[in-house]
Amino acid sequence: MRRPATYGVQCERVCYALKKPIDEVAMNTAVRPLAVVTGASTGIGLELARLCAENGFDLIVAADEPRIEEAAAELRRGGVECTPVECDLATREGVEALIAAIEHSGGAVEALLANAGRGLGGAFLDQDLEEALRVAHTNIDGTVCLIHKVGNDMRARGHGRMLITGSIAGLMPGTYQAVYNASKAFLDSFAVALNEELKDTGVSVTCLMPGATETDFFERANMLDTKVGTQEKADAADVAKTGFDAMMKGELKVVAGFNNKMRAAMSRVVPDATLARMHTREAAPGTAKQNAEEAKSRQRRKDHPAP
């Protein structure tokens, strides 16, 4: 593998990634670790890929849309190797295509950032069943299949890191996002259990639990007419940095953002039925208009207080 112009800096970053002495790293020009990032064409996934590149990882990036080629071209300009894979992880064929690309690279995956995810708004019984199942297949099936393969390889080598993008949505009943929230509850739980099973193997699992983030998620989930879809959201770069740093430290779970930490804490004490009603006010179709009208009403009261 060629040495980039910033080889010395890259060595320092690789040391951070692998936790090895810089002399050991510098002796081997092929030492740059390999990271695989799914859902990497936009949003949190692209920001995670950028952080991997900045910290000395070569990359395989995957997404279910052609924009993954543009993302890979951008990442290569940073001096790293980056292979794009356009595949649908909701299907076994898509997972196998990504695994084949990993095997073809000849590199061992040092970091797997399983970020691919999909949402779908609206009442469950009104949703197209195939679209609802695609949410489950992407968020659960694709993630589990990929981790089973890569995780086994990591365990056999005795080192590796995995970051699973769960969500605080997994902590509450997702009225009008029922399948999505349930799928994230699975991932939140799965990550903790897997990390415990891998204790003392040299492989760590971190669960990133963001809240609403400024990405194209809500547009793709057909939720732009909801309060949560139109309100101010967290910055994807900030969320990704929180998750990446936690993965590198081997932390188990990390909730991104103070407000989300408060929501996570609230979910532990508020009854599920109450949480479900609260979620309705955020995610039910038409709540964007209702929220806008309430905001205007509050502004009028502020501008013209009662005598």
Question: Could you tell me if residue 135 is left (phi over 0), alpha (psi between -120 and 50 degrees) or otherwise beta?
Answer: alpha
Q: What is the pTM of this model?
A: 0.84
Active site residues: 180
Structure tokens at 211: 């809240």
Within a domain: 244? yes
* CA distances, 153 to each of 5, 100, 103, 108, 241 (Å): 31, 14, 11, 8, 26
Count Cβ atoms below 10 Å from residue 307 Cβ, excluding itself: 3
Within a domain: 27? no
Beta carbons within 8 Å of 7's beta carbon, 6+ residues apart: none
* DSSP for residue 170: G
**What percentage of the chain reaches a pLDDT higher than 90?**
76
Within a domain: 12? no
The one-letter code for the residue type at 80 is V
Q: What is the pLDDT of residue 216?
A: 86
Within a domain: 4? no
CA angle 218, 224, 229 (to 5 degrees): 60
Within a domain: 264? yes
* DSSP for residue 90: T
Within a domain: 20? no
Q: What does the pLDDT look like over 262-281, one tens digit per residue? A: 999 999 999 999 999 999 99
Which range marks the domain in which residue 214 is found?
33-303
Given a contact cutoff of 8 angstroms between Cβ atoms, the answer to whether 166 and 182 are in contact is no
Beta carbons within 8 Å of 267's beta carbon, 6+ residues apart: 168, 171, 172, 275
Number of compact structural domains in the chain: 1
Within a domain: 9? no
Give the residue from 67, 25, 73 showing the smallest Cα distance to 50. Answer: 73
Q: What kind and span of H or E run contains 58?
A: strand 58-63
Within a domain: 286? yes
- Give, rounded to a whole angstrom, the gap between the first and last alpha carbons of the chain: 75
The gap from C-alpha 174 to its chain's centroid, in whole angstroms, comes to 18
Q: What is the CATH number of the domain that holds 103?
A: 3.40.50.720
Low-confidence ranges of the chain (pLDDT < 50): 1-13, 21-29, 299
The one-letter code for the residue type at 302 is K
Q: What is the pLDDT of residue 87?
A: 98
